[in-house]
Amino acid sequence: MRTLNISNDTLLDFISFRLKAYADLVKLRLSALVTFSAGFGFILGDSGVNFSWVNFIGLIIGGLLISGASGAANEIWEKDFDKLMKRTQNRPLPLNLISLKEAYWFTTLIAIAGVGILWTLTNPLTTALGVLSMILYVFVYTPLKRVGPIAVFVGAIPGAMPPLLGWTAATGMISHEALIIFGIQFIWQFPHFWAIAWVGDDDYKRAGFKLLPSGGKKDLNTAIQIMIYTLFLLPLGLLPTYFGLTGINSGIVATLCGVLFLAQTFSLMRDCSRKSALRIMFGSFLYLPIVQIAYLLDKV
């Protein structure tokens, strides 16, 4: 009787390969950043008297699963378009590393698990916001990407939801402080999204995605709109300090980061180059976590 000999190294390589494919399917790095924002909202909203580790862990795990399910559903929806773009053609579904049926089942299971964990370990409001975020991202934002730049506005809503979920998980309510941290992340996404769309414009056009404003042109009008939304971050960044949510130090950090972020947009208005848009894109990646960490360290 013949036996199939599989070495431990081969088995480990296979497991590693499959795990990487699933990590790519759920956009693990993006999901981790989303989860960080949710954790930020929770800690900022927590009174500091009786920190609930159960609620916090439930938010982190449930939020990570919902974010992963949203990312996976997005890749399922756009699998044929991903084949057309250089930045996405090596994703698991275009390469058939994961079958479509397998992706459907996996996405459904982690979505149900995420909602179940939020419902069990946080509260109904946080669960409802999580479900709303997933629906908007998958069923509204994703198809709108081929319609026009309205997709960026719609996508900014679920994109700004994580800190709001964190706040409601900690407090059970939506207050003006919750709307402030939601608003900062909401406005931040416009220069963030548009810089990405500018840098990847050729790729997006191959898939028929229309994300840039001003008729989809990489021109001065688009650069001005990026500047205007970045400018809004300056007063918004000071609101947590003004309302006593945090101290003056984080207000200074938010202002400095906002000024540096804004300065990058002037370069784009001057030359309308891909290089300037790339700087804004990387600047946006730095702005949000630095400001959020500053708020946490300066919480009063």
Note the pTM of the prediction, 2 decimals. Answer: 0.93
pLDDT at 224: 96
CB proximity list for 167: less than 8 A, separation 6 or greater: 41, 42, 44, 45, 174, 175, 177, 178, 181
pLDDT at 7: 66
**Would you state the pLDDT for residue 1?**
43
pLDDT the model gives residue 47: 78
Q: What is the mean pLDDT of each run of 10 residues along the chain (300 residues)?
A: 59 85 94 95 87 95 97 96 93 94 97 97 97 97 94 96 97 96 97 95 92 89 96 97 94 97 96 95 96 91
Where exactly are the structural domains of the chain? 18-173, 175-300
The amino acid sitting at 187 is: I
Superfamily of domain 18-173: UbiA prenyltransferase (1.10.357.140)
pLDDT by residue (tens digit) across 246-287?
999 999 999 999 999 999 999 999 999 999 999 999 999 999
Provide the percentage of residues in the chain whose pLDDT is more than 90.
Answer: 89
pLDDT of residue 50: 81
pLDDT on residue 5 = 54
Report whether 39 contacts 166 (CB < 8 A): yes
